Amino acid sequence: MSGTKSYVRFQSTERNQRGIFTGIFGLANGLAREGRLTAEQHRFWRAANDWYDAAYTNPSRVDPAVYDPGVNPGAVAWFKTSATHLLDRVPGCLALLAAHGVPCERLESTDPGRIVYEDEHQVVVVPRDSWRESGGGRLCANPRPTGADLDNSRTPQG
């Protein structure tokens, strides 16, 4: 099936207080916000966020309403599997989460939901409620280099 687009997302295994599965960047941002990172981990986290901020577009800067729950309830970002230069750096972020016992899962799909934003590297979708429950996820025990985001930005939140 050439021409079929494929997407990948890393996210928490539990819904947050808003009912969303927080993405890899949001999980790392939470560790930093809570002051749980060592000095070395904080330097890594900051450098990774800065690199990603420079390497691709933050969808909420293009469309401030893209993650608005009233407009796009449950919207989450997925990387296109073709964005290998972005995905190659994800293992370091996964290692940071693992060092703090933060579980995540790797999801892959050719149809992650209704696309509400798209650029050359990613899509933001409103997911189908039943997708995750239908077995679309896989735990990140030995992940391949891939990634995604939520808490809807790569920038530190505090």
Question: In a structure prediction context, what are the per-residue pLDDT tens digits for the chain, which is 158 residues long?
Answer: 457 899 999 999 999 998 899 999 999 999 999 999 999 999 999 999 999 999 999 999 999 999 999 999 999 999 999 999 999 999 999 999 999 999 999 999 999 999 999 999 999 999 986 444 444 444 443 333 333 333 334 433 33
Amino acid 24: pLDDT: 97
- Predicted pLDDT of residue 2: 57
pTM for this model (two decimals): 0.80
**Given this model, what pLDDT does residue 114 score?**
96
Question: What DSSP character marks residue 16?
Answer: -
Contact 90, 33 (CB under 8 A): no
- Residue 95, pLDDT score: 97
Cα–Cα nearest to 87, from 10, 13, 29, 156:
10
